[in-house]
Amino acid sequence: MNTTRNWILLTAFTILAFFATKWLAEYQDKKNTITEPTVELDLDAIKERGSLRVIMEYNSIGYFIYKGQRMGFEYELMQQFAQSIGVKLELIIAENDENPFNLLNEGKGDIVANGLLFSQITKHQVALTAPYRSVEQVIVQRKKSISNNPSDSIKRNDTTLNTVQDLADKIIYVADNSVYYNHLKEISDSIGINMDVRILPDGRTTDDIIEAIANGEIDYTISNKDIAQVNQSYFDNLDIHAVIGKPENLHWAVRKNAPDLLAQINEWLVQFENGKMYSSIYFKYFNEDKHIHFGYNEEAELQQGMISHYDAIIQHHAQKINWDWRLVAAIIYQESKFNPNARSWCGAQGLMQLMPGTARQIGVPASQVYNPNSNIKGGTDYLKYLEKTWSNVTDFTQRIKFILASYNAGPGHVQDAARLAEKNGYPKDKWDGSVEYFMLYKSNPRFYRDPVVKYGYCRGQEPFNYVRKIIKKYFDYQSKITTSNAQLAGNFKLEQIEPMAFDGIEGVYNPTEGLIARSAKRELFLSHRLFDEQNELTPKVQGRNPFDKPKKELFVRKEKGEIQDSGKQIFKSKQQLFQEQSKYGLEVNDENKINKLTPRR
Amino acid at 108: K
% of the chain beyond a pLDDT of 90: 37
d(CA 306, CA 326): 10
Under a CB-based contact definition with an 8 Å cutoff, are residues 355 and 69 in contact?
Answer: yes
Nearest to 261 by CA among 37, 44, 34: 44
Task: Indicate if the alpha-carbon torsion angle 509, 515, 521, 522 is positive or negative.
Answer: negative
C-alpha distance from residue 571 to each of 536, 556, 557, 580, 586 (Å) = 21, 10, 9, 20, 21
The yes-or-no verdict on residue 568 having pLDDT over 50 is no
Q: What's the pLDDT score for residue 84?
A: 95
Q: pLDDT, tens digit, for every residue of 123-140? A: 888 999 999 988 899 999
pLDDT band at 346 (very low <50, low <70, confident <90, very high): confident
Nearest to 258 by CA among 465, 415, 112, 442: 112
The residues annotated as belonging to the active site are 335
d(CA 141, CA 161): 8
d(CA 133, CA 534): 46
Between strands 597-599 and 503-504, the pairing is unpaired
Q: Which residue has the higher pLDDT, 411 or 245?
A: 411
Q: What's the pLDDT score for residue 168?
A: 87
The yes-or-no verdict on residue 377 having pLDDT over 50 is yes
DSSP state of 250: E
Between strands 196-200 and 171-175, the pairing is parallel
DSSP state of 434: I
Most confident range (mean pLDDT) of 201-210, 297-306, 444-453, 536-545 is: 444-453
Q: What's the pLDDT score for residue 364?
A: 92
Q: What's the pLDDT score for residue 480?
A: 84
Amino acid at 314: I
pLDDT band at 472 (very low <50, low <70, confident <90, very high): very high
* pTM for the predicted model, two decimal places: 0.69
The yes-or-no verdict on residue 599 having pLDDT over 60 is no
Tell me the β-bridge partners of 169: none
% of the chain beyond a pLDDT of 70: 72
Residues 6+ apart with CB under 8 A from 542: none
Q: Yes or no: is domain 43-126+255-286 CATH 3.20.20.70?
A: no
d(CA 52, CA 87): 6
Q: What's the pLDDT score for residue 397?
A: 94
75's enclosing H/E stretch is helix 73-84
Tell me the DSSP string of 534-549: T-----SSTT--GGG-
Q: Which residue has the higher pLDDT, 560 or 218?
A: 218
Q: What's the pLDDT score for residue 304?
A: 55
Most confident range (mean pLDDT) of 143-147, 447-451, 488-492 is: 447-451
179's enclosing H/E stretch is helix 179-191
* 141-173 as b/e: b if 16+ CB within 10 A: bbeeeebeebbeeeeeeeeebeebebbeebbbb
Q: pLDDT, tens digit, for every residue of 67-97? A: 878 889 999 999 999 999 999 999 998 876 6
d(CA 185, CA 207): 21
C-alpha distance from residue 473 to each of 210, 436, 490 (Å) = 28, 18, 21
Average pLDDT over residues 528-536: 31
Quickly count: other Cβ atoms within 10 Å of residue 254's Cβ.
Answer: 27
The yes-or-no verdict on residue 298 having pLDDT over 80 is no
Tell me the β-bridge partners of 92: 55
Tell me the β-bridge partners of 171: 196
Q: What's the pLDDT score for residue 118?
A: 78
The yes-or-no verdict on residue 11 having pLDDT over 80 is no
pLDDT band at 19 (very low <50, low <70, confident <90, very high): low
Quickly count: other Cβ atoms within 10 Å of residue 100's Cβ.
Answer: 23
Report the range of poorest mean pLDDT among 6-15, 248-257, 517-526, 537-546.
517-526
Average pLDDT over residues 41-58: 93
Alpha helix segments (H runs only) across 274-353 = 276-286, 298-302, 311-320, 325-336
Average pLDDT over residues 231-256: 89
Report the range of poorest mean pLDDT among 88-97, 237-246, 575-584.
575-584
Q: Which residue has the higher pLDDT, 14 or 239?
A: 239
Q: What's the pLDDT score for residue 59?
A: 82
CATH code for the structural domain at 300-517 = 1.10.530.10
Average pLDDT over residues 466-487: 84
Q: Which residue has the higher pLDDT, 524 or 154?
A: 154
Amino acid at 444: N
Residues 6+ apart with CB under 8 A from 204: 175, 176, 444, 519, 524
CATH architecture of residue range(s) 134-249: 3-Layer(aba) Sandwich (3.40)
d(CA 596, CA 242): 46
C-alpha distance from residue 229 to each of 246, 251, 360, 433, 564 (Å) = 17, 19, 32, 32, 57
pLDDT band at 58 (very low <50, low <70, confident <90, very high): confident
pLDDT band at 490 (very low <50, low <70, confident <90, very high): low
Q: Which residue has the higher pLDDT, 155 or 480?
A: 480
Report the range of poorest mean pLDDT among 69-83, 305-319, 472-486.
472-486
DSSP state of 588: B
Report the range of poorest mean pLDDT among 265-269, 275-279, 542-546, 592-596.
592-596
Task: Indicate if the alpha-carbon torsion angle 72, 76, 81, 86 is positive or negative.
Answer: positive
pLDDT band at 22 (very low <50, low <70, confident <90, very high): low
Averaged pLDDT of the chain: 77
C-alpha distance from residue 137 to each of 208, 225, 229, 286, 316 (Å) = 17, 5, 11, 15, 53
Under a CB-based contact definition with an 8 Å cutoff, are residues 570 and 595 in contact?
Answer: yes
d(CA 544, CA 508): 23
Q: What's the pLDDT score for residue 98?
A: 78
Alpha helix segments (H runs only) across 345-502 = 356-361, 372-389, 396-409, 411-423, 436-440, 445-448, 461-480
C-alpha distance from residue 590 to each of 560, 570, 596 (Å) = 17, 17, 15
The yes-or-no verdict on residue 427 having pLDDT over 50 is yes
Amino acid at 599: P
Report the range of poorest mean pLDDT among 42-46, 48-52, 379-383, 438-442.
438-442
The yes-or-no verdict on residue 499 having pLDDT over 50 is yes
Residues 6+ apart with CB under 8 A from 97: none
